[in-house]
Chain A
Amino acid sequence: MNSVSRTILATLAVVSIVLVTPGALRSQSITGGALAGAVHDSVGRPLTGARVTASRDGGASQSVFTDREGRFEFAALAAGEYTVFAEHLGYRPVRVLAVPVRPMRTVEVAVVLAPAAPPVDRVEVVRFRSGGVASEAGSFPLGIDRLPAERRELSVLARLVTRSSADLEVEGLPAALSGLVIDGVPYVAARHPALAVDPLRAAAFPLSAIDHAELVTNGVDVEWSNFAGGVLSAQTRPGSGTLGVRGFGTWSGDALASSGLFDPGAVPHTAWQGGIAAGGPLIEDTAYFSVGIEAQRIERAFPQAWPSDSIAAAVRAVAQDTFGIGLDGYAQPRLFSADVVSGFARVDWQVARGHTLSVRANVATLSPGDLEPGALPFPSDGATAEGRDISAAATLTSALGDRFSQEIRVGFTRSRREYDAAADAPPGTVFGEGGLAFGVDPALPGRFQRSAFRASQALYLRTGAHRLKSGIAATLVWHDDLYAHGRGGRFAFSDANGFATREGAFTRTTGPAPVARYMTPQIGVFFQDTWTAVPGLDITAGVRFEFEGLPVDEVQPNAEWLRLAGLDNADVPDQLRKVSPRLGFSWDVREDHQWLLHGGAGIYYDRVAPEVLGEWLTHDGRLVTHRAFGSLGSWPTIAAPLPVADSGAALTLLGPDFMPPRTARASFGITRRLGENAALHLSAALRRTDFLPRRHDLNLAQAPAATDQYGRPVYGTLVKQGALLAPEPGSNRRFPGFDLVSALDADGHSDYWGLTVAFERRAAGPLDLFASYTYSRTRDDWLGATAAPEDGLHPFPDPTASEDWAEGTSDFDVPHRFALGAEMRFPVLNGLRIAGLYRYRSGTPFTPGFRDGVDANGDGSTRNDPAFVDDAIPGTAELISEWDCLADQVGRFAERNACRTDPVQSLDLRLRVGLVATGRYTAELVVDGLNLIESEIGVPDRALYLVDPTQPLAVDAATGRVTVPLIANPHFGELLVRRNTGRALRLGLRLSY
């Protein structure tokens, strides 16, 4: 080592670069961060008047001078990698590379300038050493694209966080209450309300377009709005100062698939992905671009929908012999397919000194493909989904002086989804025996379109120890939906014999096209103060006021219902007011970054769900629900009149003082740094969400007609057909001429608490590692949050009951979640990298009940009744011994979600090895092993009992009590429909220039 090298090293030792201060509260923008620090000389004296310049990738730059204490700060910088250049007369300048500015955070850079006599002809160049660890478990420790995933869009990052499911079900709330925020602009894809999750909700945002992302669950900043759940916030990838091109391609297929649970090779499938992206300068040091396109064909095999047993064979035989319809597809592995093409572009332009404009656009098209089995309750063979998403946004960030800055954002999004059934598909048909289902899901067809325009302005003022922010945000959302549940009709048969003789149950909704076209405006104002009480301690307090409009003028009043019930379906306030206070703190104890505390509490409002408004506007009495039971005479079409049938108008009203979901959340976290490159996080969260929409049937008979043998209230006149049970059509209604009259009341609530322990080690030698475990519990009274309308009805609708059966374990309760990710690097082996991700979660809760087709309480829903655990029924004792969850339920109605499916675990591995590394050209071989540890996933058979098809209903003439003949279901808890995928190998190539 020569003297020059020693001098450089010595200088580097002196030029210390400190670390990222995880001050989540110190910065003011949700899209940009701050860069602050101090300049000292080599003996530790602050240098006043030093010029400090921050530039991104050598481009757009801002300069400030240090104050008397040598401090400097850039309060509003767009997120990205920056270069900091510090200079002072008589000192050697220092250039610090790769300083990461992250949203809502302040990165602290300390620079030491060594004296140098003029002329200074050399600049010390050092690389920023963050020793960086994430401040919260919501960050994705191993970055965006270092761990294998089957898909490549933004939402797959949620699988890395244990406070959320892989489908963005955050902290015990459904995915519909969480959303995406891209560059500070909320993005909501159109979605089918019956879809629990939409795996392609972020199709317009492939991973190659993303620079940084974070799951925000308790964002104290008042700019967080619109989502009662979490926010997956991402910043798109900016251009760089150097032209670069990178591309990739992957391939997998049935030849590389295997499974211990089914034969994925039985259905030919091929999946491939490809993409190319480029970035570079448009105008040297002024404007940069980033552009790319990706295409992928997703084909995935699933296990066969039906088991290979005599029951399924009998149904298939009847379908073929009697109706000429082949159902062999349900006895073979199924295929999910989709073609997705997405493109993105971004331009960053320093339009003037202190003014930076960022413009981006993202588009995606989803070509018709087989709808993913399991997305809807029916294994809809041949159902298709088509979509198109557009998202564009522009952000102007302006430094208006030393103290003032502002950020103006405008955004436009348009998302469309169209779901349809195969042209020749039979209507949805279920069987009590075997729990089989085939045909078109009653939730099909449907068309959903959202167009949104958003604009916001935020002003930032730094004064003393305070950072003030105020602003305004406006949103206009246009909806164009065409949907009503049950338009395709739904049949239920007891068994194959009932199918052959057409004796069963039938439901169908008819009427004019259920079109809901409306616009909802929202405007909000906000104010916030971040106060640095003492060095290291920041306190933020703020409040956001919002007004949301409802399309009251679009609803068609139903005069008949008003006359009968005195309730006006159009009597809804046209404006909702929301107040969201926030309070939080971040404390760097002793300012040595060893102990970091953060916490916060706040109110977070969602918007009124489109499916709620859509149903309200379309179910105004013009749609008619037809129900029939007994001898149907024909299938798949029904010939009217039916012997036992009823028709009634379908109507939906909003409850009084209807409000969108509101979350009150408090969280607290501690981060303990363990050396330079590791940290341990401990955090706790407490959440209460109320105003969840629950469905009540206003047209249910005024009182139960009877009780069953267990005291269950029964509405209407129960009739039985084999293993089916239903009220005689119309007998359970309060007003004839109306069917289900839904009141969507904002009276539901959900409670969550969770503890998360996370460890991470990054940028340290050959191993990056993170591990995270969350224990949580979620309880709510929200029935049928993502199901068909009637599934959300309370099975014990007596409002005077002292105990609410619905209050119990949430459908989204997943107590245990664990994730372990790691990447090992072997530089000597051609840059070999081995990465892996292991995940574990508890099973899905379910309520012991009955098979589809059994309406035990006669309320019109065949999917909402719990079973009474009666150990006197033969076979029950065996089930109790097999299922611990039943043991403490004996002698009463099963608690809501008392049982749970088996835990689910998965393992994905990735191997990357360099093939070529010549100059600026690199090529890598990537081999992914997906789902190497298989778990069975699917819909459990929740039927604890089956209705005995051989025995009649028994009615006690004196008491009116009805005895339903029941037999234990030996298949209780087994999966009716399997949705697990098999193991797959995927080969890929990555090129970059």
Chain B
Amino acid sequence: MHGCPFRIAAIASLLAALACENAGTDRVLAIEATGTLTAIAYIDLNADENPDPTDAPAAGVRIGLLIPGTRDTAAVATTGDNGLAFVTAIPVGHYSVMLDSTTVPDSLEVVGLDSAAVTIAANDSLIVVVTLRRDGPVASAPPTTATPRWHAVVHQQHPLSHTTSTVALPRHLRSGQSLPLREIRQPLPVARVVHHRGTPVMKPAAVQPRSARLRPTKV
């Protein structure tokens, strides 16, 4: 019977040893939600600053999302031949939208980037529209391996005022078209895709103007 206390002590020690596991390590709340970015780059052939079937898609235009105040690129989208680019699984948050000016042919000028600062919300899709217009002499497109030169854009934002509509995408991009990069003159509305009864539709976005965020980083 004298061994009994020692067995109890052993059990107690075992309990204590088991208790040394940190049981709370997996009880951490984290933001895991992501969103989707759709970039639309088009050449505004009819100069109405709205993408429609009469316009042409712009391929190879690279759009980036940067964490404000940082040089960290959270997402990059390069438009394909149809002028569209998709990036999925973007961590939700507020981002600065940067246009890689090296990917815009010199023969095109950037008329508008609809939003310089966007907020990716959970399970939401965001469309960034880049409006290009022919201007000046034709220039060859830069090599795709060029180091991005992010161009900070500063502008005001205007939410969509028209009713929900789908986007009529341009079908073609004329080869060899490029325009020199100029200052953005006119912003386009930001729109986001939401799912209405399973059908993706565009709706005005509630992106808040945050021009202060667009100042160059002091750090």
Is the pair B69, A566 in contact by a Cβ cutoff of 8 Å? no
Q: Closest approach, in angstroms, between the C-beta of A23 and any C-beta of chain B?
A: 14
Residues of A within 8 A of B212 (CB): 730
> In the complex, A593 Cα to B199 Cα: how many Å?
83
Assuming the contacts A696-B29, A703-B72, A955-B218, asked whether A585 and B8 have C-beta atoms less than 8 A apart, the reply is yes
B13: interface (CB < 8 Å): yes
Q: Closest approach, in angstroms, between the C-beta of A834 and any C-beta of chain B?
A: 42
Which residues of A558-615 have CB atoms within 8 Å of chain B's CB atoms? 562-567, 581, 583-585, 587, 597, 599-603
Assuming the contacts A666-B15, A688-B16, asked whether A731 and B121 have C-beta atoms less than 8 A apart, the reply is no
> In the complex, A534 Cα to B18 Cα: how many Å?
29
> In the complex, A686 Cα to B208 Cα: how many Å?
54
Which residues of A626-666 have CB atoms within 8 Å of chain B's CB atoms? 653-659, 662, 664-666
Contact of B16 among A563, A666, A706, A747 (CB under 8 A): A666
Contact of A745 among B20, B28, B33, B70 (CB under 8 A): B28
> In the complex, A748 Cα to B31 Cα: how many Å?
19
B9: interface (CB < 8 Å): yes
Segment touching A, from B90-98, B133-141, B155-163: B90-98
A84: interface (CB < 8 Å): no
Residues of B within 8 A of A664 (CB): 15-16, 18-19
B213: interface (CB < 8 Å): yes
Which residues of B10-59 have CB atoms within 8 Å of chain A's CB atoms? 11-13, 15-16, 18-20, 22-33
> In the complex, A255 Cα to B213 Cα: how many Å?
63
> In the complex, A719 Cα to B212 Cα: how many Å?
15
Q: Closest approach, in angstroms, between the C-beta of B149 and any C-beta of chain A?
A: 15
Q: Closest approach, in angstroms, between the C-beta of B19 and any C-beta of chain A?
A: 3
A736: interface (CB < 8 Å): yes
Is the pair B1, A691 in contact by a Cβ cutoff of 8 Å? no
> In the complex, A817 Cα to B107 Cα: how many Å?
80
Is the pair B27, A962 in contact by a Cβ cutoff of 8 Å? no
A447: interface (CB < 8 Å): no
> In the complex, A588 Cα to B74 Cα: how many Å?
68
A698: interface (CB < 8 Å): yes
Q: Closest approach, in angstroms, between the C-beta of B32 and any C-beta of chain A?
A: 7
A965: interface (CB < 8 Å): no
B80: interface (CB < 8 Å): no
Interface string of B122-147 (1 = CB under 8 A from A): 11100000000000000000000000
Give how many B residues have a beta carbon under 8 Å from the other chain's beta carbons.
48
Which residues of B192-209 have CB atoms within 8 Å of chain A's CB atoms? 208
Assuming the contacts A537-B5, A583-B11, A736-B208, asked whether A567 and B31 have C-beta atoms less than 8 A apart, the reply is yes
A361: interface (CB < 8 Å): no
B119: interface (CB < 8 Å): yes
Residues of A within 8 A of B219 (CB): 705-706, 714, 716-718, 955, 960, 962
Is the pair A601, B11 in contact by a Cβ cutoff of 8 Å? yes
Q: What is the interface residue range for chain A against chain B? A: 35 or more
Is the pair A690, B23 in contact by a Cβ cutoff of 8 Å? yes
Is the pair B28, A717 in contact by a Cβ cutoff of 8 Å? no
A746: interface (CB < 8 Å): yes
A743: interface (CB < 8 Å): yes
Residues of B within 8 A of A581 (CB): 15
B175: interface (CB < 8 Å): no
Q: Closest approach, in angstroms, between the C-beta of A649 and any C-beta of chain B?
A: 13
Is the pair A585, B24 in contact by a Cβ cutoff of 8 Å? no
A830: interface (CB < 8 Å): no
> In the complex, A718 Cα to B70 Cα: how many Å?
12
Is the pair A743, B29 in contact by a Cβ cutoff of 8 Å? yes
> In the complex, A714 Cα to B67 Cα: how many Å?
13
A701: interface (CB < 8 Å): yes
Residues of A within 8 A of B123 (CB): 566
Residues of B within 8 A of A953 (CB): 218
Q: Closest approach, in angstroms, between the C-beta of B55 and any C-beta of chain A?
A: 32
Nearest residue (CB) in A for B1 is A534
Assuming the contacts A563-B122, A733-B94, asked whether A718 and B30 have C-beta atoms less than 8 A apart, the reply is no
A775: interface (CB < 8 Å): no
Which residues of A530-545 have CB atoms within 8 Å of chain B's CB atoms? 533-534, 537, 539
> In the complex, A696 Cα to B24 Cα: how many Å?
14
Is the pair B16, A749 in contact by a Cβ cutoff of 8 Å? no
Contact of A716 among B69, B72, B119 (CB under 8 A): B69
> In the complex, A383 Cα to B88 Cα: how many Å?
54
Contact of A537 among B1, B13, B121, B218 (CB under 8 A): B1
Residues of A within 8 A of B22 (CB): 690, 747, 749
Q: Closest approach, in angstroms, between the C-beta of A606 and any C-beta of chain B?
A: 13
Is the pair B24, A748 in contact by a Cβ cutoff of 8 Å? yes
Residues of B within 8 A of A272 (CB): none
Which residues of B60-75 have CB atoms within 8 Å of chain A's CB atoms? 67-72, 74
Is the pair A747, B25 in contact by a Cβ cutoff of 8 Å? yes
Residues of B within 8 A of A414 (CB): none
Interface string of B97-135 (1 = CB under 8 A from A): 000000000000000000000010111100000000000
Is the pair A567, B29 in contact by a Cβ cutoff of 8 Å? yes
Is the pair A601, B217 in contact by a Cβ cutoff of 8 Å? no
Residues of A within 8 A of B74 (CB): 702
Interface string of A940-962 (1 = CB under 8 A from B): 00000000000001010000101
A692: interface (CB < 8 Å): yes
Is the pair A705, B217 in contact by a Cβ cutoff of 8 Å? yes
Interface string of A303-316 (1 = CB under 8 A from B): 00000000000000
Is the pair B33, A731 in contact by a Cβ cutoff of 8 Å? no
Contact of A703 among B16, B18, B70, B119 (CB under 8 A): B70
Residues of B within 8 A of A666 (CB): 12-13, 15-16
A855: interface (CB < 8 Å): no
Assuming the contacts A657-B27, A698-B31, A731-B69, asked whether A564 and B16 have C-beta atoms less than 8 A apart, the reply is no
Contact of A563 among B93, B121, B217 (CB under 8 A): B121
A799: interface (CB < 8 Å): yes
A840: interface (CB < 8 Å): no
B174: interface (CB < 8 Å): no
Q: Closest approach, in angstroms, between the C-beta of B138 and any C-beta of chain A?
A: 35
Residues of B within 8 A of A745 (CB): 24, 27-29
Residues of B within 8 A of A938 (CB): none
Is the pair B27, A601 in contact by a Cβ cutoff of 8 Å? no
A478: interface (CB < 8 Å): no
A503: interface (CB < 8 Å): no
Most buried by B among A534, A599, A602, A734: A734
Q: Closest approach, in angstroms, between the C-beta of A719 and any C-beta of chain B?
A: 7
Is the pair A686, B16 in contact by a Cβ cutoff of 8 Å? yes
Residues of A within 8 A of B69 (CB): 701, 705, 716-717, 731-732
Is the pair B5, A566 in contact by a Cβ cutoff of 8 Å? no
Is the pair A691, B27 in contact by a Cβ cutoff of 8 Å? yes
Is the pair A539, B122 in contact by a Cβ cutoff of 8 Å? no
Is the pair B5, A746 in contact by a Cβ cutoff of 8 Å? no
Is the pair B27, A585 in contact by a Cβ cutoff of 8 Å? no
Is the pair A747, B218 in contact by a Cβ cutoff of 8 Å? no
Nearest residue (CB) in A for B22 is A749
Q: Closest approach, in angstroms, between the C-beta of A402 and any C-beta of chain B?
A: 27
Can you list 14 residue pairs at the A/B interface with Cβ under 8 Å?
A567-B33, A585-B4, A599-B12, A601-B16, A666-B12, A688-B20, A690-B22, A701-B69, A704-B70, A731-B68, A735-B92, A745-B28, A747-B22, A747-B27
7 A-B pairs besides A691-B23, A701-B68, A701-B93 with CB distance below 8 A are A533-B1, A566-B123, A585-B5, A601-B16, A688-B20, A701-B69, A705-B68
Q: Top 8 closest A-B pairs, CB basis?
A: A664-B19, A566-B33, A566-B122, A601-B12, A747-B24, A743-B29, A706-B219, A666-B16
Residues of B within 8 A of A (CB): 1, 4-5, 8-9, 11-13, 15-16, 18-20, 22-33, 67-72, 74, 91-94, 119, 121-124, 208, 210, 212-213, 217-219
